[in-house]
Amino acid sequence: MDYQKVLDEISAEIGLIEGSGKVATYIPELGNVQPDKFGIYLQCTDGQGYSVGDALEAFSIQSISKVLSLSLALKLIGNHMWTRIGVEPSGDPFNSLVQLEYEKGIPRNPFINAGALVVADILISELKNPKVDFLQYVRDLAEDQTIQYNTKVAESEMEHKFRNASLTHLMKDFGNIKNDVNEVLDFYFHQCSIAMNCKQLAQTFTIFLNYGKYDLSAEAAILDPTLAKRINALMLTCGFYDESGEFAFSVGLPGKSGVGGGIVALHPKYYSIAVWSPPLNSKGNSELGLKALELLTTKTEQSVF
Ligand SMILES: NC(=O)CC[C@H](N)C(=O)O
């Protein structure tokens, strides 16, 4: 498959689209990003990488980090996770409060904010130096020790924490948050603030390829095959909140988006891919990123179905 040709075609076609998406501003610091940024990096299982556009420019990975925090928490506590978080799509926006009340503080899945906040709580309980250890885990997966938290983004989100704080307080009341609410929020905002580029993200997500057996040298990268399969299943069913069905329908790959405009997706046998375009649609997913991935699976005729 000539992936470079496919990426070049996608980039040309995306360039012709006049999108209607909007850069996220509810975290003010994210609003400073140039809306016309666009990059893709595709990492194949044969070791080859292909890119187009701003693939080497770092951006805020936001909710893409939820997949990495989940993978670490599952390594640490295994199936105990599922007594505190479900595995069903929520059908609601990523930051919704409504289900939590009638489902007694148990989030539907680990990729909505409520679920990721419980995962953050678990990591705080399990790790010696939570923020330092989590960043080290991500650096080891990416095999890149330069990756950093963007503390400006984390602080900006802390200043506008009201909805995430509400979710955490509600779950604390139900007994599903064990640590101090502000500590959980601080950890969560830091994990979301991690700055990575498309290349680093695509390479990091190779841990979910080939049943977790993609040939990576980093020790931290080795994932149990069952974990890799389950995390892929969750990305497929819950990775795009109330647009997960649409993503499975039009793209057909497991994936995860973030409000920084990034999307990571993967074909478990062939490649992992990261796309970045900051303007978001009404569901909080990158408008052109979604389009680019739809073009990819259409042109390559490679999806999981
Ligand atoms: N969907 C997202 O990327 C949301 C992450 C963001 N940090 C928030 O909690 O609102």
Measured in Å, residue 160 CA sits from the centre of ligand 1 at 12
220-235 mean pLDDT: 85
Report the distance separating Cα 54 and Cα 101, nearest Å: 42
Show Cβ contacts of residue 235 under 8 Å, excluding neighbours closer than 6 positions: 67, 111, 208, 254, 255, 256, 265, 266
For residue 94, the ligand 1 atom closest to its alpha carbon is 1
Measured in Å, residue 299 CA sits from the centre of ligand 1 at 31
- Report the half-sphere exposure of 197 (CA within 13 A, side-chain side): 17
Cα 123 off chain centre by: 17
Q: Cβ of 92: how many Cβ atoms within 10 Å?
A: 16
Report the distance separating Cα 249 and Cα 231, nearest Å: 19
Q: Band the pLDDT of 265: cuts 50, 70, 90.
A: very high
pLDDT at 194: 98
Q: Does the pLDDT value for residue 81 go beyond 70?
A: yes
Q: Quick one: how many helices (H) and strands (E) in the chain?
A: 12, 7
| CA nearest to 21, candidates 215, 269, 285 | 285
Q: Do domains 3-62+195-300 and 65-193 have the same CATH topology?
A: yes
Q: Does the pLDDT value for residue 221 go beyond 90?
A: no
- Ligand 1 near 278 CB (within 6 A): no
pLDDT at 218: 57
Asked if 66 is an active-site residue, the reply is: yes
- Quick one: 3-62+195-300 is in which CATH superfamily? DD-peptidase/beta-lactamase superfamily (3.40.710.10)
For residue 189, the ligand 1 atom closest to its alpha carbon is 7
Measured in Å, residue 4 CA sits from the centre of ligand 1 at 31
29 vs 225 pLDDT, higher one: 29
- Beta-ladder partners of 171: none
For 6-58, write each residue's pLDDT tens digit.
999 999 999 999 889 999 999 999 999 999 999 999 999 888 999 999 999 99
- Domain residues of the chain, as ranges? 3-62+195-300, 65-193
Q: Does the pLDDT value for residue 84 go beyond 90?
A: yes
In the block, residue with structure tokens 């990096």: 41
286-297 mean pLDDT: 98
Asked if 188 is an active-site residue, the reply is: yes
> What would be the CATH architecture of the domain defined by 65-193?
3-Layer(aba) Sandwich (3.40)
- Positive or negative, the CA dihedral 199, 1, 236, 15 is positive
ipTM of the complex: 0.95
Asked if 26 is an active-site residue, the reply is: no
Show Cβ contacts of residue 98 under 8 Å, excluding neighbours closer than 6 positions: 92
Least confident of 38-42, 58-62, 212-216: 212-216
- Annotated binding residue 32: no
Q: Band the pLDDT of 214: cuts 50, 70, 90.
A: low
pLDDT at 224: 82
Q: Band the pLDDT of 211: cuts 50, 70, 90.
A: low
Instruction: Give the type of residue at 121.
Output: D
pLDDT at 281: 95
Asked if 217 is an active-site residue, the reply is: no
Q: Does the pLDDT value for residue 212 go beyond 80?
A: no
For residue 62, the ligand 1 atom closest to its alpha carbon is 3
Which pTM does this prediction carry? 0.96
Average of per-residue pLDDT values in the chain: 94
Q: Band the pLDDT of 91: cuts 50, 70, 90.
A: confident
Residue ID of nearest Cα to ligand 1 atom 8: 113
Measured in Å, residue 45 CA sits from the centre of ligand 1 at 30
